[in-house]
Chain A
Amino acid sequence: MLVQILFYLFGAFLVASALGVIVARNPVHSALALVLCFVTSAAIWLLLEAEFLAVVLVLVYVGAVMVLFLFVVMMLDIDLAELRSGFTRYAWLGWITAGVVIVEIVGVVTARNLGVDVTRGTVPLPEDYSNTAELGNVLYTRFAYPFELAAMLLLVAIIAAIALTMRRRPGLKVQDVAKQVAVRREERVRIVKMDPEKRP
Chain B
Amino acid sequence: MASETTLTWATVAPAIAEIYLAIAVCVLLLVDVFYGEKRRGLTPTLTLAALALGALLTAQFGAVTERVTLFNGMFVADELGHFLKLAGFVFVGFALLYSRTYLEQREILKGEYYVLALTALLGIFVMVSAASLLTMYIGVELLALSVYAMVAFDRDSGIAAESAMKYFVLGSIASGALLYGMSIVYGVTGTLSLDELAGQLRGELSAGVILGLVFIVVAVAFKLGAVPFHMWLPDVYHGAPTSVTLFIGTAPKIAYFALALRLLAEGLQGAVAEWSQMLAALAVLTLVVGNVVAIVQSNLKRMLAYSTISNVGFIVLGFVAGTPEGYSAALYYTLVYVLMSLGTFGVILLASRKGFEADELDHYKGLHARDPMLAFVMMVLMFSTAGIPPFVGFWAKLRIIQELWATSHPWLILIAIVMSVVGAFYYLRVVKLMYFDPPGELPATERNTGARVALGLNAAAVVLLGLLPGPLLDLCARLLH
Binding site for B on A (CB under 8 A): 111, 113-116, 137-138, 141-146, 148-150, 152-153, 155-157, 159-160, 162-164, 167
Q: What's the minimum C-beta distance from A150 to chain B, rounded to whole angstroms?
A: 6
B1 touches A163 (CB 8 A): no
Q: Known interface pairs A113-B206, A156-B142. Does A146 touch B119 (Cβ–Cβ under 8 Å)?
A: no
Which residue from B71, B115, B116 sits with its C-beta under 8 Å from A145?
B71
Known A-B contacts: A149-B142, A159-B112, A160-B145. Give 9 more (CB < 8 A): A114-B207, A114-B211, A143-B72, A144-B72, A149-B139, A152-B22, A156-B145, A164-B149, A164-B152
Tell whether B41 is near chain A: CB-to-CB under 8 Å. no
Give every chain A residue within 8 A of B135 (Cβ-Cβ). 145-146, 149
Which residue from B71, B119, B188 sits with its C-beta under 8 Å from A156?
B119
Q: Known interface pairs A111-B207, A146-B74. Does A157 touch B22 (Cβ–Cβ under 8 Å)?
A: no
**Which partner residue on chain A sits nearest B110 by CB separation?**
A163
Give every chain A residue within 8 A of B395 (Cβ-Cβ). none
Which residue from B3, B119, B148, B155 sits with its C-beta under 8 Å from A159?
B119
Give every chain A residue within 8 A of B146 (Cβ-Cβ). 156, 160
**Which partner residue on chain A sits nearest B136 by CB separation?**
A146
B138 touches A116 (CB 8 A): no
Bound complex: CA A116 to CA B191 (Å) = 12
**Which partner residue on chain A sits nearest B155 by CB separation?**
A164
- CB 8 Å contact bits of B110-133 with A (1 = contact, 0 = none): 101101100100100010000010
The 18 listed contacts between A and B (C-beta, < 8 Å) are A114-B207, A116-B188, A138-B1, A145-B70, A146-B134, A149-B138, A149-B142, A150-B138, A155-B26, A155-B119, A156-B142, A157-B145, A159-B115, A160-B112, A160-B116, A160-B148, A163-B112, A163-B153
Tell whether B2 is near chain A: CB-to-CB under 8 Å. yes
Bound complex: CA A42 to CA B383 (Å) = 62
A contacts with B: majority SS: helix
**Which partner residue on chain A sits nearest B164 by CB separation?**
A164
Centre residue among B70, B110, B211 by max chain A CB count within 10 A? B211
- The B232-290 residues at the A interface (CB cut-off 8 A) are none
Q: Contact size class for B?
A: 35 or more
Give every chain B residue within 8 A of A155 (Cβ-Cβ). 25-26, 119
Q: What's the minimum C-beta distance from B8 to chain A, rounded to whole angstroms?
A: 15
Give every chain A residue within 8 A of B145 (Cβ-Cβ). 153, 156-157, 160
Which residue from B3, B25, B139, B208 sits with its C-beta under 8 Å from A141?
B3
Bound complex: CA A159 to CA B26 (Å) = 11
Tell whether B50 is near chain A: CB-to-CB under 8 Å. no
Q: Which 3 A-B pairs have the closest CB atoms?
A: A115-B206, A160-B149, A163-B112
Tell whether B314 is near chain A: CB-to-CB under 8 Å. no
Tell whether B13 is near chain A: CB-to-CB under 8 Å. no
Tell whether B388 is near chain A: CB-to-CB under 8 Å. no
B2 touches A141 (CB 8 A): yes
Tell whether B95 is near chain A: CB-to-CB under 8 Å. no
Tell whether B75 is near chain A: CB-to-CB under 8 Å. yes
A115 touches B208 (CB 8 A): yes
B1 touches A137 (CB 8 A): yes
Bound complex: CA A115 to CA B211 (Å) = 12
B116 touches A159 (CB 8 A): yes
Q: Known interface pairs A149-B135, A156-B142. Does A143 touch B74 (Cβ–Cβ under 8 Å)?
A: yes
Q: What's the minimum C-beta distance from A179 to chain B, rounded to whole angstroms?
A: 18
Tell whether B371 is near chain A: CB-to-CB under 8 Å. no
**Which partner residue on chain B sits nearest A160 by CB separation?**
B149
Q: Known interface pairs A145-B135, A146-B74. Does A152 touch B142 (Cβ–Cβ under 8 Å)?
A: yes
**Which partner residue on chain A sits nearest B71 by CB separation?**
A145
A156 touches B206 (CB 8 A): no
Which residue from A145, A153, A159, A164 sits with its C-beta under 8 Å from B141?
A153
Q: What's the minimum C-beta distance from A91 to chain B, rounded to whole angstroms?
A: 22
Bound complex: CA A152 to CA B139 (Å) = 10
**Which partner residue on chain A sits nearest B5 by CB separation?**
A141
Bound complex: CA A167 to CA B148 (Å) = 19
B207 touches A115 (CB 8 A): yes
Q: What's the minimum C-beta distance from A158 to chain B, rounded to whole angstroms?
A: 10
**Which partner residue on chain B sits nearest A157 by CB separation?**
B145
Centre residue among B26, B70, B135, B149 by max chain A CB count within 10 A? B149
Q: Known interface pairs A138-B1, A145-B135. Does A159 touch B74 (Cβ–Cβ under 8 Å)?
A: no
**Which partner residue on chain B sits nearest A151 by CB separation?**
B22
Tell whether B199 is near chain A: CB-to-CB under 8 Å. no
Q: What's the minimum C-beta distance from B146 to chain A, rounded to whole angstroms?
A: 6
Give every chain A residue within 8 A of B72 (Cβ-Cβ). 141-145
**Which partner residue on chain A sits nearest B3 by CB separation?**
A141
B206 touches A114 (CB 8 A): yes
Bound complex: CA A14 to CA B134 (Å) = 30
Bound complex: CA A114 to CA B189 (Å) = 10
**Which partner residue on chain A sits nearest B152 by CB separation?**
A164
Bound complex: CA A61 to CA B113 (Å) = 32
B2 touches A152 (CB 8 A): no
Q: What's the minimum C-beta distance from B47 to chain A, rounded to whole angstroms?
A: 14
- The B210-235 residues at the A interface (CB cut-off 8 A) are 211
**Which partner residue on chain A sits nearest B122 by CB separation?**
A152
B3 touches A142 (CB 8 A): yes
Bound complex: CA A62 to CA B70 (Å) = 38
B29 touches A159 (CB 8 A): yes
Give every chain A residue within 8 A of B134 (Cβ-Cβ). 143, 146
B138 touches A153 (CB 8 A): yes
**Which partner residue on chain A sits nearest B115 by CB separation?**
A159
Tell whether B176 is near chain A: CB-to-CB under 8 Å. no
Give every chain A residue within 8 A of B70 (Cβ-Cβ). 145
